[in-house]
Amino acid sequence: MTVSLLTQLADALRSGAVKVVDLTQPLGPDTPVIDLPPIFAASPGFSSEEISHYDDRGPAWYWNTIRLGEHTGTHFDAPVHWVTGAQLPENTLDTIPASKLVGPACVIDCSREAAANADFLLTSDFVQAWEAEHGRIQPGSWLLMRTDWSKRTDRDAFLNMREDGSHTPGFAPECVRFLAFERQVLGVGVECVGTDAGQAATFDPPFPAHNIMQGSGRFGLASLANLDQLPPTGAIVVAAPLKIVNGSGSPMRVLALVG
Protein backbone atom coordinates (compact mmCIF):
# COMPACT_ATOMS: atom_id res chain seq x y z
CA MET A 1 0.00 0.00 0.00
CA THR A 2 2.72 2.46 1.00
CA VAL A 3 4.76 1.53 -2.05
CA SER A 4 1.81 2.05 -4.37
CA LEU A 5 0.96 5.40 -2.74
CA LEU A 6 4.50 6.73 -3.18
CA THR A 7 4.71 5.28 -6.69
CA GLN A 8 1.57 7.25 -7.49
CA LEU A 9 3.19 10.35 -5.99
CA ALA A 10 6.33 9.82 -8.09
CA ASP A 11 4.15 9.55 -11.21
CA ALA A 12 2.23 12.68 -10.23
CA LEU A 13 5.45 14.64 -9.65
CA ARG A 14 6.77 13.55 -13.04
CA SER A 15 3.55 14.43 -14.88
CA GLY A 16 3.09 17.72 -13.02
CA ALA A 17 -0.22 16.60 -11.49
CA VAL A 18 1.48 17.31 -8.15
CA LYS A 19 3.54 20.49 -8.13
CA VAL A 20 6.27 21.63 -5.76
CA VAL A 21 5.65 25.21 -4.60
CA ASP A 22 8.62 27.02 -3.06
CA LEU A 23 7.47 28.91 0.03
CA THR A 24 10.97 30.34 0.64
CA GLN A 25 12.29 33.90 0.31
CA PRO A 26 15.79 34.41 -1.14
CA LEU A 27 18.41 34.58 1.65
CA GLY A 28 21.09 37.26 1.31
CA PRO A 29 22.51 40.51 2.71
CA ASP A 30 19.27 42.32 1.79
CA THR A 31 17.01 39.87 3.66
CA PRO A 32 15.06 41.93 6.23
CA VAL A 33 15.41 40.92 9.90
CA ILE A 34 13.23 41.83 12.86
CA ASP A 35 13.86 45.31 14.25
CA LEU A 36 13.50 44.99 18.04
CA PRO A 37 13.59 48.01 20.40
CA PRO A 38 17.24 49.09 21.02
CA ILE A 39 17.19 47.91 24.65
CA PHE A 40 17.28 44.34 23.27
CA ALA A 41 20.15 42.66 21.40
CA ALA A 42 19.80 42.92 17.63
CA SER A 43 19.73 39.87 15.38
CA PRO A 44 22.47 40.11 12.75
CA GLY A 45 21.27 39.64 9.20
CA PHE A 46 22.97 37.49 6.61
CA SER A 47 26.58 38.06 5.61
CA SER A 48 29.10 35.85 3.85
CA GLU A 49 32.79 35.71 3.10
CA GLU A 50 34.56 33.82 0.36
CA ILE A 51 36.72 30.88 1.40
CA SER A 52 37.96 30.37 -2.15
CA HIS A 53 36.77 31.09 -5.69
CA TYR A 54 38.71 28.85 -8.12
CA ASP A 55 41.85 30.72 -7.03
CA ASP A 56 45.02 30.10 -5.07
CA ARG A 57 42.91 29.56 -1.94
CA GLY A 58 41.21 26.64 -3.71
CA PRO A 59 41.97 26.30 -7.42
CA ALA A 60 39.04 24.03 -8.34
CA TRP A 61 36.41 25.06 -5.82
CA TYR A 62 34.18 27.97 -4.78
CA TRP A 63 32.63 28.24 -1.30
CA ASN A 64 31.73 30.76 1.37
CA THR A 65 31.35 31.02 5.09
CA ILE A 66 28.05 32.47 6.28
CA ARG A 67 27.05 34.37 9.39
CA LEU A 68 23.48 35.08 10.43
CA GLY A 69 21.00 35.04 13.28
CA GLU A 70 19.07 31.78 13.60
CA HIS A 71 15.85 33.72 12.91
CA THR A 72 16.77 35.27 9.56
CA GLY A 73 14.60 35.19 6.45
CA THR A 74 12.34 32.19 5.89
CA HIS A 75 12.94 30.37 9.17
CA PHE A 76 11.66 27.98 11.81
CA ASP A 77 10.83 28.82 15.45
CA ALA A 78 11.50 25.86 17.78
CA PRO A 79 9.76 25.64 21.20
CA VAL A 80 13.03 26.47 23.02
CA HIS A 81 13.10 29.87 21.26
CA TRP A 82 10.69 31.28 23.86
CA VAL A 83 11.12 31.09 27.65
CA THR A 84 7.67 29.45 27.87
CA GLY A 85 9.02 26.47 25.90
CA ALA A 86 12.41 26.30 27.63
CA GLN A 87 11.59 23.20 29.73
CA LEU A 88 9.63 21.18 27.17
CA PRO A 89 10.92 17.85 25.84
CA GLU A 90 12.19 17.70 22.23
CA ASN A 91 12.22 21.51 22.10
CA THR A 92 15.45 22.10 20.14
CA LEU A 93 16.18 21.70 16.43
CA ASP A 94 18.27 18.57 16.99
CA THR A 95 15.59 16.80 19.07
CA ILE A 96 12.36 17.58 17.18
CA PRO A 97 11.19 14.30 15.60
CA ALA A 98 11.52 14.32 11.82
CA SER A 99 7.88 13.18 11.53
CA LYS A 100 6.85 16.69 12.65
CA LEU A 101 8.71 18.34 9.80
CA VAL A 102 6.19 17.18 7.17
CA GLY A 103 2.52 18.04 7.58
CA PRO A 104 -0.71 19.20 5.96
CA ALA A 105 -1.48 22.90 5.64
CA CYS A 106 -4.64 24.93 6.21
CA VAL A 107 -4.25 28.27 4.42
CA ILE A 108 -6.43 31.14 5.60
CA ASP A 109 -6.61 34.01 3.15
CA CYS A 110 -6.40 37.30 5.04
CA SER A 111 -4.95 39.26 2.10
CA ARG A 112 -7.93 41.62 1.74
CA GLU A 113 -8.05 42.32 5.45
CA ALA A 114 -4.27 42.91 5.67
CA ALA A 115 -4.37 45.26 2.66
CA ALA A 116 -7.11 47.29 4.34
CA ASN A 117 -5.48 47.23 7.81
CA ALA A 118 -1.75 46.59 8.37
CA ASP A 119 -2.55 45.75 12.01
CA PHE A 120 -5.13 43.09 11.11
CA LEU A 121 -5.31 40.31 13.71
CA LEU A 122 -6.67 36.86 12.93
CA THR A 123 -9.40 35.83 15.41
CA SER A 124 -10.90 32.45 16.28
CA ASP A 125 -14.20 33.70 14.78
CA PHE A 126 -12.45 34.30 11.46
CA VAL A 127 -10.86 30.82 11.67
CA GLN A 128 -14.22 29.20 12.45
CA ALA A 129 -15.86 30.99 9.51
CA TRP A 130 -13.06 29.52 7.35
CA GLU A 131 -13.75 26.07 8.86
CA ALA A 132 -17.46 26.36 7.98
CA GLU A 133 -16.39 26.58 4.34
CA HIS A 134 -13.33 24.31 4.22
CA GLY A 135 -13.71 21.87 7.11
CA ARG A 136 -12.28 21.56 10.59
CA ILE A 137 -8.53 22.05 11.07
CA GLN A 138 -7.13 18.59 11.77
CA PRO A 139 -4.63 18.07 14.64
CA GLY A 140 -1.03 18.27 13.41
CA SER A 141 -1.80 20.74 10.62
CA TRP A 142 0.13 23.90 9.88
CA LEU A 143 -2.06 27.00 10.06
CA LEU A 144 -0.70 29.32 7.38
CA MET A 145 -1.89 32.92 7.39
CA ARG A 146 -1.89 34.35 3.88
CA THR A 147 -1.55 38.13 3.85
CA ASP A 148 0.36 38.70 0.57
CA TRP A 149 2.91 40.52 2.78
CA SER A 150 5.68 38.66 0.90
CA LYS A 151 4.80 40.77 -2.15
CA ARG A 152 6.19 43.79 -0.30
CA THR A 153 9.69 43.42 -1.78
CA ASP A 154 10.66 46.87 -0.52
CA ARG A 155 12.26 46.44 2.91
CA ASP A 156 10.58 49.49 4.48
CA ALA A 157 7.16 48.44 3.22
CA PHE A 158 7.77 44.88 4.50
CA LEU A 159 8.80 45.93 8.04
CA ASN A 160 6.37 48.91 7.99
CA MET A 161 8.06 50.71 10.90
CA ARG A 162 6.60 53.87 12.41
CA GLU A 163 7.61 55.83 15.52
CA ASP A 164 5.53 53.44 17.64
CA GLY A 165 7.04 50.29 16.13
CA SER A 166 6.17 47.93 13.33
CA HIS A 167 2.69 47.63 11.82
CA THR A 168 2.22 44.17 10.36
CA PRO A 169 -0.62 41.63 10.67
CA GLY A 170 -0.67 38.65 13.03
CA PHE A 171 -2.76 36.73 15.55
CA ALA A 172 -5.04 37.82 18.38
CA PRO A 173 -3.99 36.13 21.66
CA GLU A 174 -7.32 34.25 21.93
CA CYS A 175 -6.80 32.92 18.39
CA VAL A 176 -3.37 31.50 19.27
CA ARG A 177 -4.91 29.73 22.30
CA PHE A 178 -7.73 28.39 20.10
CA LEU A 179 -5.29 27.04 17.50
CA ALA A 180 -2.97 25.48 20.09
CA PHE A 181 -5.49 24.00 22.53
CA GLU A 182 -8.72 23.50 20.57
CA ARG A 183 -7.19 22.55 17.21
CA GLN A 184 -3.76 21.14 18.19
CA VAL A 185 -2.02 22.71 15.20
CA LEU A 186 1.58 21.77 14.42
CA GLY A 187 2.33 25.48 14.36
CA VAL A 188 1.57 28.72 12.59
CA GLY A 189 3.21 30.17 9.49
CA VAL A 190 3.14 33.76 8.25
CA GLU A 191 4.52 35.94 5.48
CA CYS A 192 5.77 38.68 7.84
CA VAL A 193 9.21 38.87 9.49
CA GLY A 194 7.96 37.01 12.60
CA THR A 195 4.87 35.04 13.62
CA ASP A 196 3.72 37.85 15.92
CA ALA A 197 2.01 41.02 14.76
CA GLY A 198 4.15 44.16 14.55
CA GLN A 199 2.45 45.61 17.64
CA ALA A 200 2.52 42.33 19.62
CA ALA A 201 4.94 43.66 22.29
CA THR A 202 1.91 45.58 23.64
CA PHE A 203 -0.42 42.53 23.72
CA ASP A 204 -1.39 40.44 26.76
CA PRO A 205 0.67 38.30 26.88
CA PRO A 206 3.38 40.09 24.89
CA PHE A 207 4.24 38.24 21.65
CA PRO A 208 1.34 35.74 22.05
CA ALA A 209 2.19 33.71 18.94
CA HIS A 210 5.65 33.02 20.38
CA ASN A 211 4.52 32.79 24.01
CA ILE A 212 1.65 30.36 23.44
CA MET A 213 2.79 28.42 20.34
CA GLN A 214 6.34 27.76 21.57
CA GLY A 215 5.02 27.35 25.14
CA SER A 216 2.77 24.49 24.00
CA GLY A 217 5.49 22.74 21.97
CA ARG A 218 4.29 24.19 18.68
CA PHE A 219 6.41 25.64 15.90
CA GLY A 220 6.52 28.83 13.89
CA LEU A 221 7.35 29.60 10.27
CA ALA A 222 8.16 33.20 9.35
CA SER A 223 8.87 35.10 6.13
CA LEU A 224 7.02 32.58 3.96
CA ALA A 225 6.32 33.36 0.29
CA ASN A 226 3.92 32.17 -2.39
CA LEU A 227 1.09 31.32 -0.02
CA ASP A 228 -1.21 32.63 -2.77
CA GLN A 229 -0.25 29.51 -4.76
CA LEU A 230 -1.65 27.13 -2.13
CA PRO A 231 -5.20 25.77 -1.91
CA PRO A 232 -7.10 26.34 1.38
CA THR A 233 -6.57 22.65 2.25
CA GLY A 234 -4.78 19.68 0.70
CA ALA A 235 -1.19 20.92 0.43
CA ILE A 236 1.60 19.05 2.24
CA VAL A 237 4.36 21.25 3.69
CA VAL A 238 7.95 20.14 4.18
CA ALA A 239 9.54 22.55 6.67
CA ALA A 240 12.84 21.10 7.84
CA PRO A 241 15.27 23.38 9.72
CA LEU A 242 18.97 22.63 10.10
CA LYS A 243 19.71 20.11 12.85
CA ILE A 244 21.63 22.63 14.96
CA VAL A 245 22.50 21.22 18.39
CA ASN A 246 20.47 23.24 20.93
CA GLY A 247 19.28 25.43 18.04
CA SER A 248 16.28 27.73 18.58
CA GLY A 249 15.57 28.18 14.90
CA SER A 250 17.18 28.21 11.50
CA PRO A 251 16.72 29.47 8.00
CA MET A 252 15.44 26.72 5.74
CA ARG A 253 13.86 25.84 2.45
CA VAL A 254 10.09 25.39 2.89
CA LEU A 255 8.35 23.40 0.15
CA ALA A 256 4.71 22.56 -0.43
CA LEU A 257 3.36 19.66 -2.47
CA VAL A 258 0.17 20.74 -4.20
CA GLY A 259 -2.08 18.35 -6.09
**Residue numbers of the site for Mn ion (CB under 5 A)?**
71, 77, 249
**Cα→Cα distances 191→61, 65, 82, 171, Å:** 36, 27, 20, 12
What residue 192 binds from ligand 23J, Mn ion, none (CB within 5 to 8 A, per partner kind)?
none
Closer to ligand 23J at the Cβ: 200 or 257?
200
Shortest spacing between CB 38 and ligand 23J, in angstroms? 13
What residue 34 binds from Mn ion, ligand 23J, none (CB within 5 to 8 A, per partner kind)?
ligand 23J
Given the residues 81, 134, 167, 210, the one annotated as active site = 81
Q: Give the whole-angstrom CA distance, residue 20 versus residue 75.
A: 19
What residue 186 binds from ligand 23J, Mn ion, none (CB within 5 to 8 A, per partner kind)?
none
Which residue's Cβ has the minimum distance to Mn ion?
Answer: 71
Within residues 203-242, the interface with ligand 23J by CB under 6 A covers 207, 210, 222
Extended strands (E) in 71-126 = 75-77, 102-109, 121-122
User: Is residue 149 a contact point for ligand 23J (CB under 6 A)?
Assistant: no
Q: Which of 242, 228, 244, 210 is nearest to 34 (CA)?
A: 210
Q: What phi and psi, each to the nearest 5 degrees, are found at residue 30?
A: -90, 0
Determine which residue in the list 196, 224, 230, 257 makes contact with ligand 23J, applying CB under 6 A.
196
Q: Which of 28, 77, 82 is nearest to 222 (CA)?
A: 77
Q: Is 195 exposed, middle or buried (0-12, 13-18, 19+ CB in 10 A)?
A: buried
Contact 47, 67 (CB under 8 A): yes
Closer to ligand 23J at the Cβ: 37 or 139?
37
- For the question of residue 81 being annotated catalytic, the response is yes
Residues annotated as catalytic (active site), given as ranges: 81
Residues at the interface with ligand 23J (CB under 6 A): 34, 36, 71, 77, 81, 194, 196, 207, 210, 222
